[in-house]
Structure 1
Amino acid sequence: MGATGPVHEALAALPLVDHHCHGIVTADLDRDGFESLLTEAEPWPGISSFDTPAGVAVRRHCAPLLDLPRHAPADAYLARRAELGRREVDRRLLTAAGTEVFCVDTGYTPQPLTTPRELAETADATAYEVVRLEAVAEAVAAQGVEPDAYATAFCTAAEEAVRRPGVVAVKSVAAYRTGFDLNPARPSDALVNAAARQWLENGGRLADPVLVRHLLWTAVDLGRPLQLHTGFGDTDIRLHRVDPTHLTDWLHLIKGTIPVLLLHCWPYQRQAAFLAAVFEEVYLDVGLTLHHVGPARSRAILAEALEITPFRKLLYSSDAYGLAEFYQLGALAFRRGLGELLQDRVDADELSLPDALRIAAWAAGDNARRLYGLPAPDPDPAHEPRPHRD
């Protein structure tokens, strides 16, 4: 279980701001459906997703919340999940996570998911929206646009999207589409028009390097915090091309503009930490990583991320998608990993207890509240239900 002490106690009581996550599936799941969401990989014949660090962590840490013994077999876990029903399972796991605010990426819906409002209501929390810019661009293309009008149409649509009530940030999945080893300069109108013509003729997802560059510069023009997926993901990722240090020249060019939030980062958490240490606008989390390594390894990941990261630069996210289990596992792994790390430094007299408690509060939510302009937490534990925002 690791060390215990006042830092652990403080982290256990702190409400979290999950600054990047998705919705939960709204359909009942059979075993294949559940297992497909446990992994970033395609299903493999004869190999169960329960036999992964994430699958083991679900059986260890989520099973007791469903009134099962720790390490309950997968069959028993799924049977109990079906018996309780999706809504009750979601309620138990989300409330156990202790998350007060969700910032929800609404741009990836290969299957029906809860809206930000529905997610917040299930957890008695508040939800805000993160606009995925690739989804905006693809919607513009689907509506029909002339190539030389694409750039203006996309910028207009993006501006309208970020003005919706409850929108706090934008996001790009350039890591999946092109990687980060791009020409960092803002592309010319002529280049954008030529690339748009080719894309609109061929169709498909936005994956042209020139248009991805245009999208990133549009994010700068929008003036909102920009979330960037980095590192670990599904098979679309070419991992060597998503090392965030490929962004160095672009970060020099956008100096003094918008916050850039590097999401997940593994195995590049040290490279992300370097960028956060030397660029004022760069922040990071280790979100998606946490529920895939589980509480057993979260401390190691956070320790590497915090070797040189300024303490006002670390945020919490779960990147939970589809399964309520991932909100709970992400929160538990974060609280436990950061608690062990900070408590051991206090015990070794490398950190004062007041400093450790400040760092814990910053990472759990205060850093995100400051960046996204979110309200301060409610100090009254007997508060009325918070307003929910789409």
Structure 2
Amino acid sequence: MDPLPLVDQHCHGVLRDGPHDRAGFEALLTESHAPPAPGTSFFDTQLGFAVRRWCAPVLGLEPHCAPEAYLDRRSALGTPEVTRRLLRAARVRTFLVDTGLPGDLLAPEELAAAGGGTAREIVRLEPLAERAAAGARGADAFLAALGAAIGTAAGTAAAFKSVAAYRYGLDLDPRPPAPAELWTAATRWLASGRTGRLTDPVLLRHLMWSAARTGLPLQVHTGFGDPDLRLHRADPLLLTDFLRAVEPTGCRVVLLHGYPFHRNAGYLAAVHPHVYADVGLTLGHTGARAEAVLSEMLELAPFGKLLFSTDAHGLPELYLTGAQLFRQAMARLSTRFTGDGSWSRADADRVAALLAAGNARRLYGLDD
């Protein structure tokens, strides 16, 4: 049986070259900014084990080979060949690529060419605002440039994304800022010299509301990530009042990642018609426990509102592990649910296809 075709509804580019040493590779197996503790390795994680299980055979090695052997083979093949092999093995048909991360990464069209698929861009709001501010003289000019930039992006993007969870937290005032409040916040930020990232809660709210009014889906980071965020302020339940307030705009909101609040995201998708939830990042990092986590997401979330993604970044390995862990978890759950008579086989196949690609195609208006 052919693997489930996938739409990766949230991912990032992979490195154009490298990484060239073990430390650089391991740094991309973790959300931590720090090296592993002395005497330990990030290969000794669920994700590290998944890489050796699923990626080694694609590079011509035995599953679970030693990390040193894996990295030696990777180096011998070279980055372009490794990227091509691993992306093709993932069998992702469509990549929705968040282009907001720094680094020498493949652009969406390059990623799609390497993987044998197609790509669309997800526009990250906060860097868009930072670019709009770079040459602006005064709050009025900045806000006008920002509005124009969002409008232009909406013409080609598949969706917008907010990382307010990193920049401030999700415990934002749910209302759109009043004009005077917005102008004051813009003036204050511009006067600060704009030397750091945009963290002003008023401007972050403005970005989310501006994106919501374009008619495109809005993806919002929730749950775990790197140490820039405070996890207790990344619980999607903190968005409850915003979700209620934004519903009349018609905006569809996608709650990314979620873990360890993935059940909360599933609840919000269950009770709000415009809210969707995503399994990305979580399944890759939970590895052999991906089946348990996916099962928890399937407890309350409507099956037509859960979306597959990898949240892969930097390493093509993260595409393949994310894809394979999802397929394996979905297959095992389907077998269990059909085996005890809870689901019919026809329904199990239909639900798997919805999560893998169907829901994303409907939500983002993707062509077959």
Using the size of structure 2 for normalisation, the TM-score is: 0.96
* One-letter code aligned to 1:100: R
The 5 A counterparts of 1:260-275 are 260-275=253-268
Say which of 251, 257, 277 aligns to 2:270: 277
**CA distance, structure 2, for counterparts of residue 58 and residue 168 of structure 1:** 29
Contact 2:94 2:119 survives alignment (8 Å): yes
Report the counterpart of residue 174 of structure 1 in structure 2: 164
Matched, 1:40 2:31: yes
| Structure 1 residue 211 corresponds to structure 2 residue 224 | no
> What corresponds to 2:120 in structure 1?
128
> Alpha-carbon deviation of 1:58?
1.0
Find 1:79's aligned residue among 72, 77, 82.
72
Find the partner of 2:282 among 289, 293, 301.
289
* Structure 1 unaligned residues grouped into runs of 5+: 1-8, 377-390
Write out aligned runs for 1:182-197 (5 A): 182-197=172-187
Query: How far off is 1:337 after superposition?
Result: 0.7
In the alignment, does 2:295 pair up with 1:306? no
Match of 1:101 among 91, 94, 117: 94
Residue correspondences, number: 362
- Kept after mapping to 2: 8 A contact 1:261/1:282: yes
- Distance in 1 between the 2:37 and 2:302 partners? 44
Shift of 1:104: 0.4
Answer whether contact 2:136 2:142 (CA < 8 A) is retained: no
Q: CA RMSD in A?
A: 1.1
Task: Name the SS for the 1:183 alignment partner.
Answer: coil
Distance 1:45 1:356, change over 3 A: closer
Distance 1:87 1:314 in 2: 32
Residue 45 of structure 1 and its aligned partner are, at CA, apart by 5.0
Partner of 2:212: 220
SS of match in other structure, 2:213: helix
The alpha carbon displacement at 1:341 in A equals 1.0
For the residue of structure 2 that corresponds to 1:236, the secondary structure is coil
Contact 2:87-2:319 within 8 A present in 1 as well: yes
CA distance in 1, matches of 2:225, 2:271: 26
Aligned counterparts of 2:134 and 2:67: Cα–Cα separation in 1? 42
Tell me the CA shift for residue 150 of structure 1.
Answer: 2.5
Question: 1:13 aligns to what SS in structure 2?
Answer: coil
Secondary structure of the 2:47 match is: helix
Shift in Å, 1:190: 1.1
Give the share of equivalent positions with the same residue, in percent.
51
TM-score normalised according to structure 1 size: 0.91
Kept after mapping to 2: 8 A contact 1:177/1:206: yes
Are the equivalent residues in 2 in contact too, given 1:150–1:193 (CA < 8 A)?
Answer: no
Distance 1:103 1:235 in 2: 25
2:149 pairs with 1:149: no
| 1:339 Cα offset (Å) | 1.3
1:243-270 per-residue CA deviation (whole Å, 9 max, x = no partner) reads 1011111111111411100111100111
Indicate the SS of the match to 2:312.
coil
Which residue of the partner structure matches residue 201 of structure 1?
191
Runs of 4 or more above 4 Å deviation? none
**Structure 1, residues 315-360: CA drift from partner, whole Å, max 9, x if none?**
1000000000000000001101111112211111001111111111
> Looking at both structures, which has the greater relative contact order when contacts are Cα pairs under 8 Å and sequence separation is at least 6?
1
| 2:7 corresponds to which of 17, 27, 52 | 17
Question: What are the Cα deviations for residues 189-222 of structure 1, in whole angstroms up to 9, with x where unaligned?
Answer: 1111111122112211111011111111111111
SS at match of 2:97: strand
Aligned to 1:388: none
Partner of 1:119: 111
